[in-house]
């Protein structure tokens, strides 16, 4: 078969050379942002979908419901585009309930012990929605809100900005918060996510993106090679609340300081369900954009590299996927069919004085910059 009939050279990337198929070449010709209808919420609010295409033909789809990344199409080592995130191709799937597929999570991502914290001498009580704890912003967090969206200009590639006003007292949190999340599908083949937030009162803020990655498009991720730039992690109790200790990963199944298969030591973790769901302390993290993680799928050749300005990352291996959800492409999602790399402050930071503070004060601006960069080898 003639090479010209198969692919045209698209770009030289960080970890290899990526080729463009006829499919991605046609997509590249449509580079930019296209807005379309994604349906209505149960109370009749119109929801939109934004399709971003960069100059290499990569495609990201993002809805203003929950500022959710619904699809992300990147090439494999042969140049064939494929969706590498879990989710749904319709709004109904998200409205029925899901494990935060692709969501923008807030006001506070991860867990707060027993749904309680004390700030400025006052105790606050939140909804308990994960065993005895509060998880990912409560019953109706940022992931279940309809955000205001606008197509924005960026020199890096097609971009869309989402804004949400969280009123004082929403889900039990103090102060009103105005949050902006901007997604850019860069021409360096990254999904760049930038967050800003301002508050009217002292309040905890811990925003993240909860995308579930599957670099082959289906099947479990246990063969993937994972590396984390983290010499330490925060041990947790049996409800996944940190004990307050910051412990070394060396000599434990959590040592990903060198790349090795996700499944190599996973059974040593025990637990039901079994798998990784741990906060790792990023070496040198929390000060500037810092290399955080790299995952490589030997089957497809796809690699994703993550960098963030946050001090921690939650590495999660889809432990609670149980076959009850059918998503994009008709795939039924089973345990370990995806991994998440959630940039964050440490879980339950508001209740641990030795953790980096998650409190945002009036007059301050919360800022986070996280990128996921794709390449092949």
Catalytic residue among 56, 98, 136, 210: 210
pLDDT of residue 6: 32
pLDDT average, residue stretch 307-320:
98
Model confidence pLDDT, tens digit, residues 210-242? 999 999 999 999 999 999 999 999 999 999 999
SS3 content of the chain, % helix, strand, coil (to 5): 10, 45, 45
pLDDT average, residue stretch 56-77:
98
pLDDT of residue 41: 97
Which residue carries 């004060």 as its tokens?
Answer: 361
Lowest-confidence segment of 1-5, 17-21, 56-60, 71-75 by average pLDDT: 1-5
Say if CB 345 and CB 324 are below 8 A apart.
no
- The helix (run of H) or strand (run of E) holding residue 93 is helix 91-95
Establish whether 26 is a catalytic residue: no
Q: Which two tokens stand for residue 273?
A: 């369900």
pLDDT of residue 4: 34
pLDDT of residue 16: 38
Q: Strand, helix or coil at 114?
A: helix
Which residue carries 């290499």 as its tokens?
Answer: 56
pTM above 0.85?
A: yes
The alpha carbon of 2 is separated from its chain's Cα centroid by a whole number of angstroms, namely: 39
pLDDT average, residue stretch 19-44:
79
pLDDT of residue 312: 98
The pLDDT-based confidence of 55 (bands split at 50, 70, 90) is very high
pLDDT of residue 271: 86
Percent of the chain exceeding pLDDT 70 equals: 92
pLDDT of residue 366: 98
Taking CA atoms, 117 is separated from 132, 157, 349, 363, in Å, by 14, 41, 10, 22
The conformation of residue 138, written as its DSSP 8-state character, comes to: S
Q: What domains appear along the chain, each with residue ranges and CATH number?
A: 3-376 (2.70.98.10)
The alpha carbon of 376 is separated from its chain's Cα centroid by a whole number of angstroms, namely: 20
Establish whether 265 is a catalytic residue: no
- The helix (run of H) or strand (run of E) holding residue 34 is strand 32-40
Which residue carries 């923008």 as its tokens?
Answer: 104
Q: How far apart are CA 110 and CA 123, in angstroms?
A: 19
Catalytic residue among 342, 345, 352, 371: 342
pLDDT of residue 24: 57
Question: Across the chain, what does the average pLDDT equal?
Answer: 93
Q: How far apart are CA 91 and CA 35, in angstroms?
A: 15
């Amino acid at each position: 078969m003639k090479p010209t009939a198969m692919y045209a050279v698209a770009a030289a990337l960080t970890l290899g050379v990526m080729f463009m198929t006829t499919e991605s070449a046609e997509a590249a010709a449509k580079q930019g942002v296209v807005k379309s209808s994604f349906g209505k919420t149960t109370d009749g609010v119109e929801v939109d979908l934004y399709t971003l295409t960069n100059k290499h033909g990569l495609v990201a789809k993002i809805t203003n419901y929950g500022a959710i990344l619904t699809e992300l199409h990147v090439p494999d080592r042969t140049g064939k585009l494929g969706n590498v995130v879990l989710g749904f191709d319709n709004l109904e799937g998200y409205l029925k309930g899901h494990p935060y597929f692709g969501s923008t999570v807030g006001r506070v991502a991860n867990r707060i012990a027993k749904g309680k914290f004390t700030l400025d001498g006052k105790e606050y009580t939140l909804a308990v929605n994960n065993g005895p704890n509060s998880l990912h912003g409560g019953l109706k967090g940022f992931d279940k809100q309809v955000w205001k969206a606008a197509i924005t200009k960026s020199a890096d590639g097609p971009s869309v900005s989402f804004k949400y006003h969280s009123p004082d007292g929403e889900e039990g949190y103090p102060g009103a918060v105005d949050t902006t999340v901007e997604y850019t599908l860069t021409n360096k083949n990254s999904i760049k996510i930038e967050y800003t937030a301002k508050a009217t009162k002292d309040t905890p803020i811990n925003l993240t993106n909860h995308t579930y990655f599957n670099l082959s498009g289906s099947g479990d991720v246990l063969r993937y090679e994972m590396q984390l730039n983290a010499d330490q992690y925060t041990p947790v109790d049996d409800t996944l609340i940190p004990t307050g200790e910051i412990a070394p990963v060396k000599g434990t199944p959590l040592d990903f300081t060198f790349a090795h298969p996700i499944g190599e030591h996973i059974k040593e973790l025990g637990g039901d369900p079994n798998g990784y769901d741990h906060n790792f302390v990023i070496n040198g993290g929390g000060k500037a954009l810092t290399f955080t993680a790299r995952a490589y799928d030997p089957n497809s050749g796809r690699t994703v590299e993550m960098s963030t300005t946050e001090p921690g990352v939650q590495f999660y291996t889809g432990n609670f996927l149980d076959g009850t959800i059918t998503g994009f492409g008709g795939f039924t999602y089973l345990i370990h069919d995806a991994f998440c790399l959630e940039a964050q402050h440490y879980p339950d930071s508001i209740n641990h004085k030795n953790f980096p503070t998650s409190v945002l004060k009036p007059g301050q601006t919360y800022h986070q910059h996280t990128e996921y960069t794709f390449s092949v080898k």
